[in-house]
Amino acid sequence: MSHAEGHAEGHVDLPVAARVRRLEERVVAAGLTTDAELDAFLARFLERASPMNGARLAARAWTDPAFKERMLADGNAAVAELGLGPADPARQAYRLMVVENTGTTHNVIVCTLCSCYPVALLGPSPSWYKSHAYRARVVREPRAVLAEFGLELPESTRIAVWDSSSEARYLVLPRRPEATADLDEDALARLVTREGLIGTALV
């Protein structure tokens, strides 16, 4: 059984890229910055944006039950705690929701109207995440889509599909792999993939 959760109120009909460019043009026209400064800021941001950041969150949650509880209650605060976002969680531009895979539920994230997701924690989004086919089909037939990624889930596993927006972004906390009790946090983080944090693969 699949279902879509989350919301899309933060989206508008105008394509995101066009909206962003219009805003950039207004800021530049007002003399507040330049195209070169904007490009440099984006380059610095993307240098720090990596799936390893999300992997660190997952590994810490697997090894620290108290941190995991805090992360599931307030993803922004957990990100700030590890120094992966603004020191003040209230300054984060969106609310980070972390959803946990369990023995009975598997989570997968999508952004049906564009391609919102936590870039700082996952790096630039893969092309398939932005594709219309993924965005349209994963909500309607998540089990079939996951199977195409090579992820065959038991029929008894409930699949929860979470729809990101400009206000809320989602991150999957994968299940800790078996036989990893002897691994430290750094070693565990190296096992986590971007696909695992999106929900299209297991770890």
> Among all residues, which ones are annotated catalytic?
111, 114-116
Distance of CA 83 to the CA centre of its chain: 17
Distance of CA 58 to the CA centre of its chain: 12
Question: Within a 10 A sphere around the Cβ of 84, how many other Cβ atoms?
Answer: 19
Q: Where are the beta strands (DSSP E) in the chain?
A: 2-6, 95-100, 105-110, 158-163, 168-173
Distance of CA 132 to the CA centre of its chain: 18
Using a 10 angstrom Cβ sphere, with 0-12 exposed, 13-18 middle and 19 or more buried, the burial of residue 153 is middle
Max CA distance (Å), the chain: 58
For the chain, how many residues are written?
203
CB-based burial, 41-50: b 16+ in 10 Å, e otherwise: eeeeeeeebb
